Structures are given as C-alpha cells and as structure tokens.
Amino acid sequence: MNYVKTNEVKTGKIKGEAVFLIERLLLYFFIVRSLCVTTSYLTVKALTKYIKRKFDADPHLRNVYVKGELSNVKIHTSGHIYFTIKDDKARISAVMFATQAKNLKFRPESGMNVLVQGDVTVYEGPGQYQIYAQVMQPDGIGELFVAFEQLKEKLAKEGLFQTSRKKQIPRFPQTIGVITATTGAAIRDIITTLSRRYPMAEVIVFPALVQGSAAAPSIVKALKQANAYADLDVCIVGRGGGSIEDLWAFNEEIVAREIANSNVPIISAIGHETDTTIADFVSDLRAPTPTAAAELAVPNQLELLQLVTNRKSQIVSIVTATLSNERKRLTRVMSAYPIAYPERLYRPFVENLTRISEQLEKNGRTIINQKQQLLIQHKARLTLQNPQRLVKQQQNELQVNIERLNVAAKKNIQIKGVLFSNVIQLLEALNPLKIMDRGYSITYQNNQVIKSIKEIDPNKPLHIKLQDGVIVASINSINKQSKGEST
C-alpha cells in the first residue's frame, strides 16, 4: 500500500500515473473481494478510512477550483456555512468554516452562482465526500462583471472618478430633484425622509425607468431634464435594491457620462450598501441607500431649528458678555486716577499760578514802592523848585518897584505940574485971544482960518471973530498987498 503515499506527481506524468493507479486500484479491489469471500470482512470504518486516505492522497483533489450554483445554503450559528454546489448534471456537498467565512464580502444565498476554491475530502460519519471551501466569490455576472470592470477602468483613466471633479452638495438646498421610478420603495423612502427632515425644500421628481434595457436611456433623459430645470440645487439618482442585472442601467456608460456631465450635484443611491455601480463612482456623493441619499441631501430641519436657537443664544451671550466687559472697562477707566481725581491733574498748575501770582504781587508792590519813593523824591525836589517863592520874591520886587515907581511918578508929576504951570503961564501969555484984546481979529471962511487971500472964496461969507463976538461979512473985493506993507 506504499504507492498510495506517492504524493509528488509531476504534471507531465499525470495521465499515465492515473491510468496506472486505476489499474492498481481495480486489482486491489478484486483481491479484497476474493479475500472477503474466503476469509474476513472489512469494517465500514476501515473502508471509509481507506477511501478517505485515497482522497487525501490525491493532489488533484487539493486546491480544486469549482464553479456552480449554490443551493441548500445553511449558515450555522458557529459561522460555518454548509451548502451544496450544483450544476445541471451533478452536485457536491460543501462546507466553509467560520475562519474562512468571515472573510466573505457577500452573503451566500441559494441560487447564487459562485466560484469556489477548496480541498475535496471525505467526511467519515455520513460517508460523504465534500469540498472544504477556502475561498468563494460570486460568479454568474460573467460578461456583465467584465464589462463593469472594463468601463470602470476606462472612466477612471479619463479621470471621471477624481475627487477634484466632485461638486459640493449644497448645505441647504431649496429645490431637490429625484430621478427614480415613480413607484417602489426608493421614491417612497426618499420622499418620506425628505419630508421628515426638511419640508422646506421643494421636491421635483423626474420619473425614469430604473430596470430593463430602456432604463439607461430613460435615466439619461431624466438627467438632461433635471439639468435643464433651473434652480435645481441637488439631484438624487437611484433605485432600490436588486440583483446586479436589475441595477445594471447604473453601470451603463451613457448614464455614467451623463452623471459626470451634470451641472447639478448628483447624489447616487443605488441598491443596497453592498452594491456599487459605475454611477456611484462618477456621482458627486454616493449614498448607500435611497433613504441615506435623502439624509445626505438635506439637513434635519428640527436640528436646524435647534442650531438657529443655539446661534441666537450664542449671540445673546457673547454680546451680553461684551457689554458687561465694556461696562467693566468703563468703570475701570472711570475709576482711573486722572478721571477719578481730576483736580490732581491741574493742581500743580494752580499751585504754580498761585506762586506766580504771589510773586507778581510782591514784585508789583516792590516796584510800586520804588516808584512811590521816587515820586516822593521827585515831589520833594519839585517842592524845592516851587515857583511860589519866586513869585513871592518877584511880587516883593514888584511891590518895591511899584512903590519906587509911585514915588518917582509923584515926583515927576510934581515936576511936570510945575513945568505945566510955567507953560500955562507962558501959554497964557501967548493966547491969541489975549492979543484980540489988543484989537486983533481972526477971519474964518468955512470954519477955516484964512491966512491968505488966496484961500478966500469970494462968494461965501466971512466970519470975523473978535474979542467979544463974531461979524459975518460979505466980500466986496480982494486986494493984493504989495510987499513990505503990513496989515
């Protein structure tokens, strides 16, 4: 039985070796059977052990790749998964232990096509051979899966998935577009969530088919409509869960490109959390479900109300604090030295003023005193120079002179009187009237003394004054006297 331990088999010799093994096996069975008939029977356990060894020894039954459809999937509470892999011709039991099962990205379900990698061996109890799965992944996407990967790679190369391309989802949208089927869970979930969270916003539904061959063009048309509609702040594109085929429209290139070209920010919400489509990669924000999309699209109005209230009270408390701070500041400033004791500010000036005033007064008095003294001196000097004395002196002098003048004048008058009486005597002696006593007369014409005949107007009377009266005479003739003759 040594040959069963032959583990190392070179691939080139596999076929020959296998034929050899089968031949040896058949031969061995014949021997056993003849032995049983004649000698003893094998226990079931021994036989099973033998068979198990055969399985374990076969390198072709290790690390086997099998594809098929899942059925009878049972997930044990321990985490082990028991299932059957089948195709239309055969089936094989399988188990995946919890250690490996926990690495699965999906939940195996009956009917799912899978690719399984594992070892085939015998489970001795029920006498079953089964595959112990190490790795399992979904199959059956087939071409779709390939198409998905190819488109994903192509669009990624074009940079359509880049974060820099992603548009910001507005915080407070006023108008929200929804592109999905008008019936079904998705639209209900979205609208229910939007109404619950943010009834402020207007919702416009752009109906689209989301399943089947017409879905992709229909979604594209709705996206165009949504972009043509003015004032749309954000748009949710999505549908509820389904198989990969159901969701396929969202993996189509025309849909992906339309989403990438959209001016309106797009939130994708396709299927369940585990479903990822190309649309999710190009959208500005991926939501795991339609409900989540609605939650991402809008804030919660009640929370906002709370936020506004909080902001309001924040403002009140900050401004109140500012006011109280400013008030404190004012108080502090008001109690500051110069304002609290303003007189201290000008006290030095007052003191200075007082000092200067005093000095001024003192100096002034000194000057006045000096000037007064000067005045007194001058007065004294002036008194000394008083003209009264001079006047008196002059008066005295005048008096003396007057007296002397009086004496002189009297003397003079006496002398003149004597002279006068002398003259009078002389004069009397010379008085013509005295001469008239001796017979002389004076002739007047027109009150003029006539001294010559030449002065006479013969037509006018003559007045001839005598000693005792006047004769008025008219002129008869005028005779010129010859020389040497007296009158």
Partner 1 sequence: MTKTVVSFDQAIQELEEIVRQLEQGDVPLEDAISLYKKGMELSTVCHDKLHNAEKQLISLMDNNGDKVPFNSPEKEDSSK
Question: Does 247 help bind partner 1 (rule: CB under 8 A)?
Answer: no
Give CA 388 to chain center in angstroms: 99
Q: What's the min distance (Å) between Cβ of 115 and partner 1?
A: 39
Q: CB of 174: closest distance to partner 1 in angstroms?
A: 6
Out of 314, 324, 331, 363, point to the residue binding partner 1 (CB under 8 A): 314
CB closer to partner 1, 201 vs 256 = 201
CB of 181 to partner 1, least distance (A): 11
Q: Which is nearer to partner 1, 133 or 266 (CB)?
A: 266
74 strand-pairing partners = 82
C-beta neighbour count of 133 within 10 angstroms: 24
First and final C-alpha spacing in the chain: 245
Pick out residues in 205-224 that bind partner 1 (CB under 8 A). Answer: 205-207, 222
Nearer to partner 1, 174 or 448 (CB): 174
304 is a contact residue toward partner 1 (CB under 8 A)? yes
CB distance 114 to 68 below 8 Å: yes
Measured CA to CA, the distance from residue 249 to residue 446 in angstroms comes to 179
Task: Indicate the residue among 305 and 413 with the shorter CB distance to partner 1.
Answer: 305
Q: DSSP readout, 355-403?
A: HHHHHHHHHHHHHHHHHHHHHHHHHHHHHHT-HHHHHHHHHHHHHHHHH
Helices 253-261 and 215-228 meet at what angle, rounded to 10?
10
Nearer to partner 1, 307 or 398 (CB): 307
Among positions 201, 210, 234, 269, the unique one binding partner 1 when judged by CB under 8 A? 201
Are the CB atoms for 169 and 235 separated by under 8 Å?
Answer: no
Which among 163, 173, 208 has a CA at the least distance from the CA of 194?
173
Query: Minimal distance in Å, beta carbon 182 to partner 1?
Result: 7
* Residue 315 interacting with partner 1 (CB under 8 A): yes
Contacts 24+ apart (CB under 8 A), 459-467: 465/436, 465/441, 466/436, 466/441, 467/433, 467/436, 467/437
- Buried-state track 107-124, b at ≥16 Cβ within 10 A, e below 16: ebeeebebebebebbbee
CB-nearer residue toward partner 1: 191 or 464: 191
Is there binding between residue 333 and partner 1 (CB under 8 A)?
Answer: no
Is residue 202 close enough to count as binding partner 1 by CB under 8 A? yes
Query: What string marks each residue from 158 to 197 as x (binds partner 1 by CB under 8 A) or -?
Result: ------------xxx-x-------xx---xx--xx-xx--
Whether the Cβ atoms of residue 296 and residue 290 lie closer than 8 Å to each other: no
Pattern 251-290, partner 1, x by CB under 8 A = ----------------------------------------
C-beta of 105: minimal distance to partner 1 in Å?
32
Q: Under the criterion CB under 8 A, does residue 225 sit at the interface with partner 1?
A: yes
Task: Find how far residue 211's CA is from the centre of its chain.
Answer: 52
**Token pair for 304:** 């906002």
Which residues of this chain interact with partner 1, rule CB under 8 A?
Answer: 170-172, 174, 182-183, 187-188, 191-192, 194-195, 198-207, 222, 225-226, 228-229, 301, 304-305, 307-309, 311-312, 314-316, 318-319, 322-323, 326
